[in-house]
Amino acid sequence: MKDLSQKHIVLGLSGGIACYKAAELCRLLIKSGASVQVVMTEAATQFITPVTMQALSGREVFVSQWDDRQSNNMAHINLSRQASAILVAPASADFMAKLIHGRADDLLSLMCLARPLESTPLILAPAMNKEMWSHPATQRNVNQLRQDGAVVLGVAQGEQACGETGDGRMLEPMEIFEELCDFFVPKRLSGRRVLINAGPTFEPIDPVRGLTNLSSGKMGFALAIAAKASGATVTLISGPVHLGTPQGVRRINVQTAKEMHDQVMQEVDQADVFIATAAVADWRVKSYSDAKIKKSPARQAPELEFEENPDILSAVAHSDRARKHQLFCVGFSAESHDLLKHASEKRVRKGVPLMVGNVGPLTFGRDDNELLLIDDQAVKTLERSSKEKLAHLLIADLADRLNGFLKE
């Protein structure tokens, strides 16, 4: 779970059936350590009760601009001044239309209008019928809200309460939560394009068997999430893993080392950074069998002949763009012993400015890791922690290195 322990979130609910998702969203915010103040419109109370939101947030809910619980009777001022951000989820078509015209006829719209623009960001999670979402008036309003400084999240596609199917569904609570967490991450990679490969590769022997390894892809996916949160445009090339695609990340699925090599080489010319976290098979069988290899009557093991797979990291590191300092390459070295020695030798052999070492048996499939960052001058240890936290630390370190490396 990401940490929002220093954040105070005003969670606004406007009228819409998606209000039911606000309950789970509130829970996620509270579990992350944030304090949450819920403000609802009268219309929202028709879909979910203030009692529910009070129980989940641990705070009294505000609905009316005439609420006299504030000593100065100015809830619209007081609540906005305390907020790290105002998050309206759901934001109905009507509510967004009111905002662009500066209309303020209820507490929530009044608070949004009265918030200090420079210190209290406004984040909107739209929710409406597909025809309402695609209507030119709504799209004009969304564009104007973004020009006015609001952050308008995307919408999901799928079945809607009315029975129709299309765009306009509010994002799921976890997706909104992750978008909010990303919002607070400094955008140190803004404008950068990051290419990451992740997970294992699978080298088929016959239609039912193959060679692979224990890599889960979790470190590479965590880096994709952290890079995206830092403002980068991220492409993730993944081997066969059981992980969902991170929000806002472009994903390309591959199976073999050769397929991964070909995809990386197609994408790398558009990248500023290449992070090679994938556990790529060094070898593949030379002759693939179209039929399952059956056990012989003599129980003799089949003889398999191998050939070397292409070296993805080395190919990228020795490309023209890498040599001209237009592409920064980061390698990963998963070792079973003598980590510093083998990872250092691999960095020199591959020709990359930064090698990240870890002990494979102590990280494959796990949610935590410990990393060694090795360059030509020093070795830095990132102590064992969650892969999510390590990913953010590594991306921050990478952002510092880019400033003195990349040449436009």
Domain check: are 60 and 170 in the same one?
Answer: yes
Domain check: are 197 and 175 in the same one?
Answer: no
Residue 159 placed within a domain: yes
pLDDT 10s digits, 119-176: 999 999 999 999 999 999 999 999 999 999 999 999 999 988 888 899 999 999 999 9
For position 261, which CATH number holds? 3.40.50.10300
Q: What integer pLDDT is reported at residue 196 of this predicted model?
A: 98
Domain assignment of residue 12, given as a range: 8-183
Q: Annotated catalytic residue: which of 19, 162, 181, 329? A: 162
Q: What integer pLDDT is reported at residue 117 of this predicted model?
A: 92
Over residues 181-209, the mean pLDDT reads: 95
For position 96, which CATH number holds? 3.40.50.1950
Domain check: are 81 and 228 in the same one?
Answer: no
Over residues 47-67, the mean pLDDT reads: 94
Question: The pTM is what?
Answer: 0.83
Q: What integer pLDDT is reported at residue 359 of this predicted model?
A: 85
Domain check: are 165 and 312 in the same one?
Answer: no
Over residues 199-216, the mean pLDDT reads: 94
Q: What integer pLDDT is reported at residue 408 of this predicted model?
A: 58
Residue 294 placed within a domain: no
Domain check: are 140 and 201 in the same one?
Answer: no
Q: What integer pLDDT is reported at residue 56 of this predicted model?
A: 97
Residue with tokens 């039912």: 208
Domain check: are 272 and 344 in the same one?
Answer: yes
pLDDT 10s digits, 360-372: 777 888 889 999 9
Please report which residue ranges of 5-106 form alpha helices under DSSP H. Answer: 19-31, 50-57, 75-82, 93-100
Quote the percentage of the chain above a pLDDT of 90: 83
Domain check: are 321 and 225 in the same one?
Answer: yes
> In this structure, how many other beta carbons lie within 10 angstroms of the beta carbon of residue 37?
22
Over residues 298-324, the mean pLDDT reads: 91
Residue finishing a domain among 183, 204, 219 = 183
Q: Which of 32, 140, 50, 47 is nearest to 93 (CA)?
A: 140
Q: What integer pLDDT is reported at residue 60 of this predicted model?
A: 95
pLDDT 10s digits, 77-128: 889 898 999 999 999 999 999 999 999 999 999 999 999 999 999 999 999 9
DSSP letter string over 188-243?
Answer: TTTT-EEEEEESB--EEEETTEEE-----SHHHHHHHHHHHHTT-EEEEEE-S---
Q: What integer pLDDT is reported at residue 360 of this predicted model?
A: 79
Residue finishing a domain among 142, 160, 183 = 183
Quote the percentage of the chain above a pLDDT of 70: 100
Nearest 5°: phi and psi at 76? -65, -25
Q: Please, what is the average pLDDT of the chain? A: 93
Q: Which of 147, 151, 154 is nearest to 122 (CA)?
A: 151
Provide CB contacts within 8 A for 13, sequence distance 6+.
19, 22, 38, 39, 40, 41, 44, 48, 53, 88, 89, 90, 108
Binning pLDDT at 50, 70 and 90, where does residue 315 land?
A: very high
Residue 290 placed within a domain: no
Q: What integer pLDDT is reported at residue 296 of this predicted model?
A: 78
Domain check: are 241 and 310 in the same one?
Answer: yes
Q: How many domains does the chain have?
A: 2
Domain check: are 81 and 212 in the same one?
Answer: no
**162 labelled catalytic:** yes
Q: How far apart are CA 81 and CA 116, in angstroms?
A: 7
Domain check: are 251 and 334 in the same one?
Answer: yes
Q: What integer pLDDT is reported at residue 1 of this predicted model?
A: 54
Over residues 236-247, the mean pLDDT reads: 95
Written as one letter, the residue type at 206 is D
